[in-house]
């Protein structure tokens, strides 16, 4: 039995994910009138974000070189993060996770709002996925101005990353030893996140201590209104 090429594997996984997401979104539309509108809206938004990630996987699989950022515009990053936090905090409560935030208002950047949503939700999802079952289950989220840039950080009290593996975490399909033992995954999330951030003119860094936690920092240029 031969091992599938990574590109073919990504295409197969992305294709299989897109169908149930489309079906779920259709079902949500049907029940909107009988449920709370804000809850349905949150579900639609997370599905849209996941669909966007699947589209990126398909683009990567087809071209072998990734994807491009198109239809850029100025938008309020602070407002986007606050909207996403409504969903994040709902999930966090159900998972017994404590979320603390520090979001400075009216930070305007240039880019694609949906792609930045994807980046933010991927980082928070990773933090939740790799929290320990016992002990502190905390995630801190901040968005602050730093001169002509802004800094978005997500810090957790999770399993952490071994020091000798930190340099590999943005490599496609790479998963650290603790991550492999703790939960399933594709090893593509951080690679895609880094690509999106760089296409927005930003940088991403990770600080981590195994058994203590991880902090991911994203720096993006601020655009004057």
Given this model, what pLDDT does residue 1 score? 36
pLDDT band at 131 (very low <50, low <70, confident <90, very high): confident
Residue 26 pLDDT grade (very low, low, confident, very high; cuts 50, 70, 90):
low
Q: Does residue 130 have a pLDDT over 90? A: no
Fold of the domain built from segment(s) 6-63: Helix Hairpins (1.10.287)
- Average pLDDT over every residue of 14-34: 64
Q: Which residues contact 184 (CB under 8 A, 6 or more apart)?
A: none
| Beta-bridge partner residues of 220 | 150
Which range has the worst mean pLDDT, 43-52, 141-150, 169-178?
43-52
Task: Give 13-59 as a DSSP string.
Answer: HHHHHHHHHHHHHHHHHHHGGGS-HHHHHHHHHHHHHHHHHHHHHHH
Residue with tokens 């895609």: 192
| Rounded percentage of the chain residues whose pLDDT exceeds 90 | 31
pLDDT tens, 58-116? 666 654 555 667 778 999 999 999 998 988 888 888 788 999 999 999 999 999 998 89
Q: Is 73-221 the same fold as 6-63?
A: no
95-100 contacts: CB < 8 A, separation 24 or more? 95/128, 95/137, 96/137, 97/128, 97/131, 97/137, 97/138, 97/139, 98/137, 98/138, 98/139, 99/138, 99/139, 99/140, 99/141, 100/138, 100/139, 100/140, 100/141
CATH of 73-221, one of 1.10.3720.10, 3.60.21.10, 3.40.50.2300, 3.30.565.10: 3.30.565.10
Q: What is the mean pLDDT of the chain?
A: 79
Assess whether pLDDT exceeds 50 at residue 172: yes
pLDDT of 46 strictly over 90: no
Question: What residue ranges do the domains of the chain occupy?
Answer: 6-63, 73-221
pTM value?
0.73
Asked if residues 189 and 180 have their Cβ atoms less than 8 Å apart, the reply is: no
Measure the CA–CA gap between 153 and 206, rounded to whole angstroms.
10
CA 113: distance to chain centroid? Answer: 13
Condensed to tens digits (0 to 9), the pLDDT of residues 54-70 reads: 766 666 665 455 566 77
CA distances from 5 to 37, 117, 156 (A): 43, 29, 34
Residues pairing with 155 in the sheet: 140, 215
CB count in 10 Å sphere of residue 23: 10
Whole-angstrom distance, CA of residue 163 vs CA of residue 168: 10
In this predicted structure, what is the pLDDT of residue 66?
Answer: 56
Burial 53-70 (b: 16+ CB within 10 A, else e): bbebbbbbbeeeeebeee
């Amino acid at each position: 039995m031969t091992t599938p090429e990574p590109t073919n594997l990504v295409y197969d996984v992305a294709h299989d994910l897109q169908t149930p997401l489309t079906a779920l979104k259709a079902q949500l539309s049907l029940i909107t009138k009988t449920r709370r509108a804000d809850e349905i809206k949150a579900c639609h938004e997370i599905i849209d974000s996941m669909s966007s990630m699947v589209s990126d996987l398909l683009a990567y699989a087809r071209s072998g070189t990734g994807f491009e950022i198109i239809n850029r515009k100025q938008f309020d990053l602070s407002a986007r993060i606050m909207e996403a936090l409504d969903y994040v905090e709902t999930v966090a409560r159900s998972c017994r996770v404590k979320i603390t935030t520090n979001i400075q208002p009216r930070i305007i950047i240039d880019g694609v709002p949906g792609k930045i949503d994807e980046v933010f939700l991927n980082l928070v999802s990773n933090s939740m996925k790799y929290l320990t079952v016992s002990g502190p289950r905390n995630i801190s989220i901040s968005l602050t101005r730093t001169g002509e840039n802004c800094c978005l950080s997500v810090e957790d009290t999770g399993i952490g990353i071994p020091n000798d593996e930190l340099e590999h975490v943005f490599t496609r399909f790479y998963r650290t030893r603790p991550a492999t033992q703790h939960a399933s995954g594709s090893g593509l999330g951080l690679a895609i996140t880094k690509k999106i951030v760089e296409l927005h003119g930003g940088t991403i860094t990770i600080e981590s201590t195994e058994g203590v936690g991880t902090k991911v920092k994203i720096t993006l240029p601020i655009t004057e209104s």
